[in-house]
Each structure stands twice: as C-alpha cells, then as structure tokens.
Amino acid sequence: MPLWDWNYAFDILPDLVLALVTTIEITLLGSVVALLLGLVFAVLRRLHIPVLDQVLWAFIEVVRSTPLLVQVFFLFFVLPQFGITLSAFVVGVVGLGIHYATYTSEVYRAGIDAIPKGQWEACTALSLPRLRVWTGVILPQAVPRVLPALGNYVISMFKEVPLLLAIGVVEVVNEAREIGSLTFRYTEPYTIAGLLFLLLSYPASMLVRRLERRRAAA
C-alpha cells in the first residue's frame, strides 16, 4: 500500500471540507461571544464597582489559568446537574467564547487605557451622559486600535475548535478520525485536516499583520 493515496485523499476531501464549515461556524459564533463579553468585562472592570470588581478579577484569573478542555467538560457535565442541558455545539461556542472573552477583555482594557486623559476630561466638561461617553467618545477610539490583537485571538480560537471532539462535536479533526477509523488509513485525513487549518489561518494572520503595520504607520 502506498504511503499516500491520491484517490482516497480526493474521495474524503468533500466530507472534511463540510466538517470545516462546522469549525468555522463555531469559531465565528464563539468570536461574537468573546468580543462582546470581553468588552462587557473590560468596561465593568473599569467602573470599579466594589465586590463585582473582585469577583470579576477572580473569574478572569481562573478562566485564563486553567485549560479550555476542562472548562468545556465543566459546561458539558456540571451544568446538566443544575438543569441546564446544552448541546455539544452550544457548549463549544459558549466555552470558547467565555475563555477568549477573558483574553479580549485585557485587549480592550489596554485600548481604553491608551485613551488620553484629556478625552475623559473633555467629556466631563461637556457633561456628556455616562453612556454617551463610552459609546460616543471612548470606545470609537479604543476599539479600532486593538483590532489586530482581537483578530489574532479569533485565529487562535479557530485553532482550538478541534478540542471539542472530546465532547463529540463533529468538526474537521473528529471527521478525520471517523473517516480514519472506517478505512484504517489515518495519514490522508489528518494531513488534509492540518493543511486545511494552515490554508485558512495563515492568510488570516498575514491579513492581521498587514493591519498591524498599517496601524503602526498611521
């Protein structure tokens, strides 16, 4: 038997690409959770509300220092005991989203901290309402500067999706594993799975790097 069988490789390609769509779906939905929740975390921490501030700090530290896989198991096995049963797909989206929200919140925080003090003072001088200060002045300046960093985290999330095979989500790697277990040939499925990741994440990271350079130049 040859080490690499092109016919076999082309046969399984459609199934793998189809599974890649699931991977991309989870990445995009997870990113929405991470980008929104991270912003909420960053703004809440900036407000320095007693107790909530410490609770949020502890939560972020725990989520950042423990494996995503354990967090995914937590959502998958612990929540049902409290009457919340989520499908593996939703657990994946929520798990990835919360995990990466703790990272994006740091990114947003850096962006908010970089806003000159004069901007805050001007808001006070104009006696803008609290909400307008954030939505009209601070965030429109803070978010664009941190877009490249956020983009990098979206790419990282994409590469972490295969973890979800541990709870039965059929993404690319799990599909590759199933194909392999039917044919007893693992070389082609796993290699193609790897190449598919590279094919998407490399151009994406090039794009982010270009964005980074453009920001640095501006």
Partner 1 sequence: MDNLPQIVSVLGDGIPETVIATLGGVLLTIVLSFGAGLLLLSPSRTARGVTRVYVEGFRGTSEVVQLFWIYFVLPVLVGFQLLPLFAGIVVLGLNHGAYGAEIVRGAIQSVPRAQYEGAIALSLSPAQRMRRVIFPQAFVEMLPPFNNLFIQLLKSTAILALITVPEVTRQAREVLIPNYGSDTLLIFGVTFVIYLILAALITLGMRLLERAASARLGRRPSRAARLAAKATAGVAS
Nearer to partner 1, 185 or 215 (CB): 185
In angstroms, what is the minimal distance from the CB of 162 to partner 1?
Answer: 4
Q: How far is the CB of 44 from partner 1 (least distance, A)?
A: 22
User: Quick one: 149 or 163, whose CB is closer to partner 1?
Assistant: 163
CB of 128 to partner 1, least distance (A): 34
**43 or 79: whose CB is closer to partner 1?**
79
Q: What is the dihedral of CA 89, 105, 73, 26, to 10 degrees?
A: 20
Least distance from partner 1 to the Cβ atom of residue 103, Å: 10
CB-based contact 71:101 (threshold 8 Å): no
The residues that touch partner 1, with contacts defined as CB under 8 A, are 3, 61-62, 65-70, 73-74, 77-78, 81, 159-163, 165-166, 173, 176-177, 180, 186-187, 190-191, 193-194, 197-198, 201-202, 205
